[in-house]
Structure 1
Amino acid sequence: MRVALLEPLGVPDEMIHELAAPIEAAGHEFVSYPEKTCDAAELVRRSAGADVVMIANNPYPASVVEASDALKLVAVAFAGVDHVALDACRERDVEVMNCAGYSDVSVAELTVGLTIDVLRRVVAADAAARAGGTSAGLVGREICGKTVGIVGTGHIGCAATRLFRAFGARVVGYARHESEAAREAGIEFVGLDELLGQSDIVSLHVPLTPETRGWFDADKICAMRDGAVLINCARGAIVDNDALAAALNGGKLAGAGIDVFDMEPPLPEGYALASAKNCVLTPHVAYLTEESMQRRAKIEFSNVIDWLAKH
């Protein structure tokens, strides 16, 4: 079979060659491309004749799936697969595999990092120091003693819970399906309204699905306690970001830490959150660490090798 890695995975070429060696040793063809592309025509060219395509977090649209007659598997080096044309894959019996778990630690750490940035006003303090300013107006708040609401208590939500509890926070959680693993991590399950009403910090960890798109809307933001902080390292389209910007500018919320948006950065001019008060933004980097890139490469190649062995 032909296996095509359509974009870089953020690891050295030597690691790619090492991970691909078992594929070639088993008699399969392996090709890789050193530059990412979002051009559909180029994706069609790269996918031509491939039984397996390997991608990361760039879109793989329906037109490419439909034009790739040999395609049997899309291996995704990412936890979410909402950037893949899943309906087109189902119609053509193309399997889709993800890399669940590779970024649990990195996303959880940035979740806490953004919380610290917002509460301790790190960005504003940095600007003040560089401008010759002082600590005036930079009184912060601590995580210790706060109530943190984790919305979505899967692996990342549990990892974030353990970190928040290490800071001395109480953690409550909401999920459609409660789990013993989440309880063991220290999560106290409550209803969503209760979580929003009592949490000083609300952190989102739910996937993007048709049901969750726009789910965290103005009503849910309004239900948060006054002066709370919202952290989103999940998916940007979960949140009504215009409503979030309005809540920040109007003083309803004390701050927000946002890593994900309605689209992939760069953000367009005039994007509401870019000028919102007390809002720390990062350009979708929660998953992006040296360690997580290595983990996802290993998981993706392992997925492909296992799949090839069964086909």
Structure 2
Amino acid sequence: MRIVLLEPLGISEEKLNELAQPLKDDGNEFIAYPDKTSDEDELVSRARGAEIVMIANNPLPDSVITQLPQLKYIAVAFTGIDHVGLNACRKQHVVVSNCAGYSDTSVAELTVGLTLDVLRKVLLGDTAARMGKTSAGLVGQEITGKTVGLIGTGHIGSAVAKLFTAFGATVLGYARHTSQTAIDAGVTFVSEEELLKQSDIVSLHLPLNDQTKKSFGAAQFAQMKDGAVFINCARGAIVDNEALAYALRSGKLAGAGVDVFDVEPPLPADYPLLHAPNLVLTPHVGFLTKEGLERRAQIEFDNVQNYLAGRPTNVCEL
């Protein structure tokens, strides 16, 4: 069977060869490309004739998939699959799997890191120190004693809850379904309205789908406490970023930390969040740790092996 990895996975060549060797030993043809491409003709050329395609977060749209009649399975080394042409997958009966769970710890730690950056004015302090200034204007706040509201309490949300609980925060949660795992992590479930009203820090941990796209906007920011902090390490398109920028400019929010956007970085010069005050930005690095990248590569290759063995794992509902 022809198996093509369309982009690098952020692991060493030695590790890649180690993971790929069992596939080759079983008589499969394995091809790995060392660079990414967004050119659709090039993607078609690379994947032509492959029954199995492996990707990370490189878009693989409907227009590419429809030109790959032999394609049977897409292994995605990512949690979300919104960058995959799911309409074509449904029509062509292509199975799609993801690597859910690989970045839980990485994203949870960045969520807390961004919160600390905002509350303790870390970036402003760095700038002040480098410019020969003093600590004037850099009075921060502690996490201890704050109320943290988590919208979405799945694996990542529960991991975030554990960390904030360890800091001495009270953690509230809102989700379509309550979770014993989240409760064990310290979450008290409340309504979304109650969470927004009570929380000093609100953090999103939702998947991106038709129901969540642009679901957090002006109405939700208006319900938040004056001077609250907003964190988004989930998906950028869940948030109305114009509304977030306004909430920061108006002083409704004291600050925000954002790792994800409705476009992938580099961000255009006129992107609204680039011109909002009291905002810490990172260019979609929540998943990007050495440990996380190695975990996802292992999971992706395990998914392929299990698919070939007739017992597919981490299969996504399309």
TM-score normalised by structure 2 residue count: 0.97
Name the count of aligned residue pairs. 311
| Residue 265 (structure 1) aligns with | 265
| Residue 116 (structure 1) aligns with | 116
In the TM superposition, 1:245-256 aligns within 5 A as 245-256=245-256
Q: Deviations over 1:24-44 (max 9, x none)?
A: 111111011000111111100
Q: Runs of 5+ in structure 1 lacking a partner? A: none
Amino acid across the alignment from 1:272: P
- Secondary structure (helix, strand or coil) at the match of 1:107 reads helix
Q: Residue 309 of structure 1: CA displacement?
A: 1.3
Q: Deviations over 1:184-236 (max 9, x none)?
A: 11100000000000000000000000111100010011111110000000000
Q: Deviations over 1:161-203 (max 9, x none)?
A: 0000111000000000111111111100000000000000000
Amino acid across the alignment from 1:173: G
| Residue 6 (structure 2) aligns with | 6
| Residue 228 (structure 1) aligns with | 228
| Residue 134 (structure 2) aligns with | 134
- Secondary structure (helix, strand or coil) at the match of 1:301 reads helix
| Residue 38 (structure 2) aligns with | 38
- Secondary structure (helix, strand or coil) at the match of 1:164 reads helix
| Residue 180 (structure 1) aligns with | 180
Structure-2 separation of matches of 1:273 and 1:142: 25
Structure-2 separation of matches of 1:70 and 1:245: 46
Structure-2 separation of matches of 1:119 and 1:19: 42
Structure-1 separation of matches of 2:18 and 2:70: 26
Identity of matched residues, %: 63
Instruction: Say yes or no: does 1:92 pair with 2:92.
Output: yes
Structure-2 separation of matches of 1:271 and 1:180: 39
- Secondary structure (helix, strand or coil) at the match of 1:42 reads helix
| Residue 57 (structure 1) aligns with | 57
Amino acid across the alignment from 1:5: L
Structure-2 separation of matches of 1:45 and 1:16: 22
| Residue 305 (structure 1) aligns with | 305
Structure-2 separation of matches of 1:208 and 1:128: 37
* Higher deviation after alignment, 99-108 or 176-185: 176-185
| Residue 163 (structure 2) aligns with | 163
| Residue 286 (structure 1) aligns with | 286
Structure-2 separation of matches of 1:283 and 1:35: 19
Amino acid across the alignment from 2:72: K
| Residue 70 (structure 2) aligns with | 70
Structure-1 separation of matches of 2:54 and 2:109: 27
Instruction: Say yes or no: does 1:296 pair with 2:296.
Output: yes
Structure-1 separation of matches of 2:252 and 2:7: 42
Structure-2 separation of matches of 1:5 and 1:237: 27
| Residue 147 (structure 1) aligns with | 147
Q: Deviations over 1:226-247 (max 9, x none)?
A: 1000000000000000000000
Q: Deviations over 1:280-307 (max 9, x none)?
A: 0000000000000000000000000110
Amino acid across the alignment from 1:140: G
Q: Residue 12 of structure 1: CA displacement?
A: 0.4
Structure-1 separation of matches of 2:90 and 2:22: 28
Instruction: Kindly report structure 1 stretches of 4+ aligned residues shifted beyond 3 Å.
Output: none
Instruction: Say yes or no: does 1:190 pair with 2:208.
Output: no
Structure-2 separation of matches of 1:285 and 1:310: 34
The Cα RMSD (Å) is: 0.7
- Secondary structure (helix, strand or coil) at the match of 1:237 reads helix
Structure-1 separation of matches of 2:287 and 2:72: 27
Amino acid across the alignment from 1:277: P
Amino acid across the alignment from 1:49: G
Q: Runs of 5+ in structure 2 lacking a partner? A: 312-318
- Secondary structure (helix, strand or coil) at the match of 1:67 reads coil
Structure-2 separation of matches of 1:275 and 1:217: 18
Structure-2 separation of matches of 1:275 and 1:125: 19
Structure-2 separation of matches of 1:40 and 1:211: 28
Amino acid across the alignment from 2:156: I
Amino acid across the alignment from 1:40: E
